[in-house]
Structures are given as C-alpha cells and as structure tokens.
C-alpha cells in the first residue's frame, strides 16, 4: 500500500509518499516541505490569510517535487497514476483557509485519478509520527516497489524492541493543542484531558515574543534555556524571582492551563524593564519594545524557567496517566516534542521513579507538521471515504 499524503493545516505545505510495512510501521519514500515561516516571523505570528495564500502558491510544486523524487525524475504523472494506491489528506483541525487548499487539492486528485481518499485528523497523526521508520531518502524504488531494508537508527532499535506500541498514553503538544489520550489499539482510544486555554506551544510562542524571541519561539527558547543551564553546570536553577509557577501541577485531573503562565511572564518583563512614564509598550512582534531592557543572561534564565514550568506539569500528568492506565509506553507528538530537554526530562523522571515506561518521540523532523505523519495514520487506519463527503473542519477534535 503506497499513499500520497498531504498536510497543509497551518503554515507548512508538506507532501510525502509513504508505504505500509506492517501493522505498526510505515516507511517514507519521498517527502517535500515548503514553509511560509519567514513571512510569519516578520509579523510575529501567523496571519491566516498569509498562510492560505502561501499554501495556494506551494501546493502543486510541492506535490510535483515529491513525485519527482520518488520516481527518480522519470515521469511523475505516470508514477502518480500507476504507483500510488491512495491519497491521504488532513481535514482538520487547523486554519480554515489553509485546510480548504489541501482538501480541495486532494479531492481533485482522488476524483480525477479515481483513487481512494482517506481524511485524517491532524492531531491523531502527530502521535502516528512515532510509527514512521527512518528510511534513507534515496531508497530506490525497484521494479515499481520500494526497498524495505532500511538502516536502523538508534531510536529505531528502541522502537523495534518495544515493537507493539499499544497500549500507550499519547501526549500531543503543539502550537494549537495540548492533549492526553489513552490508546488501546489503532481504533480504540480515549481522550483524558487537555488544555483549558492556551496550548503549551502557544504559551512558548507568546511568552517568547514578550522575552524578545522570534516566531516560532520554541526552538529559540530551547537554545537559550540550554545556554543558561550549561553556563552554570548541572545544578543551575533560576533565581527565586525568575521562577514561574507550573499551572495545575497538583490538580487531580488531566487538564492543563497555560494562559496564566504567559501573564506571569508579561508581568515579569514589565517589572524588569519599566518604560519611562507616559510611554506605551508597542504590540509585540518579537522585534522591538518587549524584552529590550532585559540582559541576555536574564532572557536565558527566563527561558529556562518558562520551559521548566511547562515541562514539569506535562511530565507529571503524563506519568500519572501512564500509571493509572498501567501502560508500558508513552508516545509524544507535536512541535514541542522536538524539544530534546523535554524528552530527556521525561526519561530522567521515569528513571527517578523506577518506572519501566518507555518514552518515545518522533524523529525531530516528524515532530513538527509534516505530510509523512498523515500518511502514517492513513496507512495504519485505512478507511477511505467518498471524495464528495469530505469537507475541511477547522474545529475537528476527537470523536
């Protein structure tokens, strides 16, 4: 089963061709991602119309490029017609303009080529990035079928050892969502809790703007936090007045809340770099006004404290869920799971508590939005729908 999968729910236009290996693994044969991040960095965040316009511009070239790579520059149209079994597409949640582009493109392909189409929930797909085997980008497609032998990276050995990932607790941490789910099998899952307001990534992005980081702030916050940590050695802790509260850390549920943390960061910045009387702080775009009065050392310290406040509650509630449901595995997914400190802290905490729970996170490039995860979900939950019944759903959540 070979699937052409397309993801454009936000600012990435990402297309992949994936192949199902077995019930728990897919291999990526080819992938291309175009991003309009530079445009959004200039505006300090995503303006939905700008994102949708970029999707319209990128969608066809990105599909063509992915087919070209997979067919080794032969004839992409022939390859699409004869070697692709189905089309998979994100239909929500996300920005309506961006979703409309991808859904209409996928429906047109499915209708004109008479191929099955599988609509995919973007959030569930983030967890399915863990089911992707690392595959050499150049793996040749011999006799029309892909080579199934791929060199196993270290992480993959861990995955093979775990083999059957079910049952697991899934933690989705992205720019728009923070959710905890219990999975018993591909089709049986239960939502346990999620954020009551801002998502973890959103908190990083918005707080980052206040500190003076560019959009998206997550990667820069990780770097700055590491600089603070490395400077002072292993035992570095932020000064008492730079510590932030971990929201809902001790609540007896699986809920999260991050908007108060953002407000705390805002208060700290205003207190630390007061403006002359009568002057107004501009609306922050990460480039001026906010964070200007803070020293680099203080910014690094704040990033460390902010990350810690967010990660402590993510880790604590996820481990509580793993204990309650007695699962052997925890799967992370979403852009924030690209953060190496989060993964390391998860592993350290399980070790400290003498737990045998395995912590798995996608390969870094599959943590943030990508087409391959859409293909992974579709290949392992093959459920085509009539093309004319598929509509973009920006509010899509869990069934």
> Smallest distance, Å, CB 393 to ligand KG4?
15
Instruction: Output the six-digit token pair for 157.
Output: 């050995």
Rounded-to-integer distance, Cα 33 and Cα 60, Å: 12
Query: What region does 75 belong to: left with phi over 0, alpha with psi -120 to 50, or beta?
Result: beta
The strand pairing partners of 189, in sequence order, are: 183
- Tell me the torsion sign for CA atoms 130, 370, 284, 395: negative
Pick what 204 binds: ligand KG4, Zn ion, none; C-beta below 5 to 8 Å, kind-dependent: ligand KG4
In angstroms, what is the C-alpha Rg of the chain? 22
DSSP characters over 300-331? HHHHHHHHHHHHHHHHHHHHHHHHHHT-SEEE
Instruction: Output the six-digit token pair for 293.
Output: 């009065």
Q: Are strands 117-121 and 86-92 parallel, antiparallel or unpaired?
A: parallel
Alpha-carbon distances, residue 150 vs 17, 58, 135, 139, 371 (angstroms): 16, 30, 6, 8, 20
Pick what 170 binds: Zn ion, ligand KG4, none; C-beta below 5 to 8 Å, kind-dependent: none
- For the chain, the first-to-last Cα distance in angstroms comes to 26
Pick what 5 binds: ligand KG4, Zn ion, none; C-beta below 5 to 8 Å, kind-dependent: none
Nearer to ligand KG4, 98 or 368 (CB): 368
The answer to whether residues 60 and 32 touch, using CB atoms and an 8 Å cutoff, is no
62 binds Zn ion (CB under 5 A): no
Nearer to ligand KG4, 92 or 146 (CB): 92
Nearer to ligand KG4, 217 or 374 (CB): 217
Nearer to ligand KG4, 79 or 244 (CB): 244
> Smallest distance, Å, CB 221 to ligand KG4?
6
Binding segment (CB under 5 A) for Zn ion, from list 129-137, 173-181, 189-197, 247-255: 173-181
The answer to whether residues 81 and 39 touch, using CB atoms and an 8 Å cutoff, is no
174 binds Zn ion (CB under 5 A): yes
Nearer to Zn ion, 8 or 329 (CB): 8
Residues between 347 and 376 that touch Zn ion (CB under 5 A): 369
Pick what 338 binds: ligand KG4, Zn ion, none; C-beta below 5 to 8 Å, kind-dependent: ligand KG4
- Residues in contact with ligand KG4 by CB under 6 A are 10, 174-176, 201, 204-205, 216-219, 222, 334-336, 338-339, 368-369
Residue 3 backbone dihedrals phi, psi, to 5 degrees: -125, 135
> Smallest distance, Å, CB 80 to ligand KG4?
27
> Smallest distance, Å, CB 74 to ligand KG4?
32
The residue assigned the tokens 């609540």 is 251
Binding segment (CB under 5 A) for Zn ion, from list 140-148, 171-179, 304-312, 375-383: 171-179
Pick what 95 binds: ligand KG4, Zn ion, none; C-beta below 5 to 8 Å, kind-dependent: none
Binding site for Zn ion (CB under 5 A): 174, 369
């Amino acid at each position: 089963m070979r699937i052409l999968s397309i993801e454009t729910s936000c600012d990435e236009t990402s297309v992949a061709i994936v192949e199902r290996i077995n019930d728990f693994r897919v291999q990526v044969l080819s992938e291309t991602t175009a991003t309009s991040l530079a445009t959004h960095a200039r505006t300090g965040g995503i303006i939905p119309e700008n994102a949708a316009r970029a999707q319209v511009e990128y969608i066809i070239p990105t599909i063509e490029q992915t087919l070209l790579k997979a067919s080794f520059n032969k004839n992409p149209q022939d390859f699409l017609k004869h070697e692709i079994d189905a089309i998979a597409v994100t239909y929500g949640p996300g920005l309506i303009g961006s979703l409309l582009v991808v859904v209409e493109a996928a429906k047109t392909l499915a209708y004109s080529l008479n191929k099955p189409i599988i609509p995919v929930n973007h959030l569930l797909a983030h967890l399915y990035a863990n089911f992707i085997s690392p595959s050499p980008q150049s793996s040749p497609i011999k006799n029309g079928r892909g080579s199934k032998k791929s060199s196993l990276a270290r992480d993959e050995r861990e995955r093979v050892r775990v083999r059957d990932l079910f049952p697991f607790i899934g933690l989705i941490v992205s720019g728009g969502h923070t959710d905890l789910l219990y999975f018993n099998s591909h089709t049986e899952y239960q939502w346990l809790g999620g954020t009551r307001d801002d998502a973890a990534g959103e908190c990083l992005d918005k707080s980052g703007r206040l500190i003076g980081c560019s959009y998206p702030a997550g990667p820069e916050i990780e770097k700055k936090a590491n600089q603070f940590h490395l400077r002072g050695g292993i035992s570095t802790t932020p000064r008492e007045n730079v510590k932030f509260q971990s929201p809902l850390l001790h609540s007896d549920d699986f809920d999260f809340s991050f908007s108060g943390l953002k407000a705390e960061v805002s208060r700290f910045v205003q207190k630390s770099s007061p403006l002359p009387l009568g002057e107004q702080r501009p609306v922050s775009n990460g480039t001026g006004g906010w964070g200007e009065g803070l020293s680099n050392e203080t910014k690094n310290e704040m990033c460390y404290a902010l990350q810690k406040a967010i990660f402590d509650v993510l880790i604590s509630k996820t481990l509580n869920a793993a204990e309650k449901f007695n699962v052997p595995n925890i799967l992370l997914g979403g852009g924030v799971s690209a953060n190496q400190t989060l993964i390391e802290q998860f592993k350290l905490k399980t070790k400290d508590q003498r737990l045998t729970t395995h912590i798995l996170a996608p390969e870094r490039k599959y943590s943030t939005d990508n087409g391959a995860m859409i293909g992974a979900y579709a290949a392992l939950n093959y459920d085509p729908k009539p093309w004319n019944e598929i509509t973009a759903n920006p509010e899509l959540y869990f069934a």
